[in-house]
Structure 1
Amino acid sequence: MDIKQYLDSTYLKTAGQAGITEVENRDVVRGVVHEAIHENFKLAMVRPDMVAMAKQMVAGARSSVLVGTVIDFPLGNNSLEYKLAEAGQAIADGADELDFVLDYEGFKNGNIAEVKKQVLECTRLGLSYGKIVKWIIEVAALNDHEIVQLSALVKNIVVSNFEETEYNRVFVKSSTGFYPVGDGKPNGATVPAIKLMLENAFPLPVKAAGGVRSFEEAQEMILLGVKRIGTSSAKAIADGGAAGGGY
């Protein structure tokens, strides 16, 4: 198992969230992308305003590392037009993969038709440009029944509207890693949540994101059946160790 090819090395903090300057934050992103290139991880996941720089670095290194970004992050509650515009700019900047935050609060509030429309139209946009599309359902904000419902919602839209050859290009993804939780509860991927996603998203692939910080945890997720792991601890995982914190 080449675990590096499962890893989406991720850095999604703004300068304000990191408590550093904009210049310093850009340097952190450069470091993450450089490490992804050096370690040959599957992908470097950065915010939309960092995509063009990341792609330039990858091209300059003649690397096969992909560049991904997040859309409507971290809440997913903007309009379809907003999502499409942000995704369109990311595509123009060279993003290989688009991780959309699904409007999970809208879904919970009964706006199911709008959520379905967003999933359909944003998926159509990404696939039409040959991109990988992922839908973040934010499992920490959901109960088990809602995890099942949203995993199945994305699956049903894809199966009903796209060719079978494209199923493996649309993922259901667990988490942003930014959802606020208390009492030491996980805000990212957990084994029970991932099992529900795998069962109900099939035949779509699943990405476990947030909270995977050791080789053993990553291996467990892969053995369950996930095809990607989003983590800010990619090097520690690849080296067989563990990281103390982070996404």
Structure 2
Amino acid sequence: MEIRQYLDATYLKTAQQANLSEEKNNEVVKNCIQEAIDHNFKLIMIRPDKVALAKEMIQKAKSKVTIGTVIDFPEGDGTLEDKLAEAIQAINDGADDLDFVVDYKAFKNEAFDKVKEEVLEGTKLGLKHNKIVKWIIEVAALNDHQIVQLSALIKNVVIANCNEKDYEKVFVKSSTGFYKTPEGVPNGATVATIKLMLENSFPLPVKAAGGVRTYEEAVEMIQLGVKRIGTSAAKTIVNGEISKNDY
């Protein structure tokens, strides 16, 4: 299976998280962008402050790789105003995909109107600028019932407020990859959670992020029905190797 166009090659660590200097971390980012260009992955997913750099490199290479970034990452509990401001800056810098972290803590506290409002306004902003919008629900922070509920909430907001032709542009995404779970417990996409998301977000597409580390796992996710896979091991996966990365 040709899976390159499913892969969102991802690097989201800050210099501090990577235990690197800003200069060294910037080199890692540049290398990841170049790797996405060289291997013709669907997208390079990076932090908002690196979007302009990616745009410059991709344009210079005359590449078709698109640029994604994360909004209100990784906690998702910022204000709606801050979320939208960050998204607008990313759009201005050249982002094609906006991966918002939904306020899953508010959702767990049953502040459903707050969550619906941010999903509505973030989605409207992205679609207005012809961007792909993804809502990260952080499955590791939710139980199965909550995964079902939150996937359905996002779907229902989009169906009630958007044109049918735009449904394919609004994803439900599993994970940030940064959520801290007890040792050994998956913090990303698993077959069980992806099945729940697919069943309850349809007709919206699903992105599996976190935990897909091999070609076989990637193919399994695609065969389940996901349209994108977020991974820091895109090259390794394409080469049929096994990644030791945690995203």
Same-fold call, TM cutoff 0.5: yes
The answer to whether 1:202 aligns with 2:222 is no
Distance 2:164 2:71 in 1: 25
Answer whether contact 1:233 1:246 (CA < 8 A) is retained: no
Q: Report the equivalent of 2:102.
A: 102
Answer whether contact 1:100 1:136 (CA < 8 A) is retained: yes
Deviations 1:151-182 (A, max 9, x none): 00110011110000000000000000000011
The answer to whether 1:223 aligns with 2:245 is no
The aligned amino acid for 1:144 is: D
The answer to whether 1:36 aligns with 2:36 is yes
The aligned amino acid for 2:215 is: F
| Structure 1 vs Structure 2 CA RMSD | 0.5
Structure 2: any 5+ residue segments left out of the alignment? none
Structure 1: any 5+ residue segments left out of the alignment? none
SS of aligned partner of 1:134: strand
* TM-score for the superposition, normalised by structure 1: 0.99
Deviations 1:16-36 (A, max 9, x none): 000000111111000000000
SS of aligned partner of 1:223: helix
Q: Report the equivalent of 1:233.
A: 233
Q: Report the equivalent of 2:168.
A: 168
- Percent same amino acid at aligned positions? 65
Distance 2:32 2:245 in 1: 16
Distance 2:11 2:117 in 1: 29
Deviations 1:172-214 (A, max 9, x none): 0000000001130001000000000000000000000000000
Q: Report the equivalent of 1:135.
A: 135
Q: Report the equivalent of 2:72.
A: 72
SS of aligned partner of 1:226: coil
Answer whether contact 1:136 1:175 (CA < 8 A) is retained: yes
Deviations 1:13-64 (A, max 9, x none): 0000000001111110000000000000000000000000001100000000
Structure 1: 4+ residue segments shifted above 6 A: none
Distance 2:186 2:225 in 1: 20
Q: Kindly state the Cα deviation for residue 110 of structure 1 after the two structures are TM-superposed.
A: 1.6
- The total of aligned residue pairs comes to 247
Distance 1:79 1:244 in 2: 35
Deviations 1:114-142 (A, max 9, x none): 11000000000000000000000000000
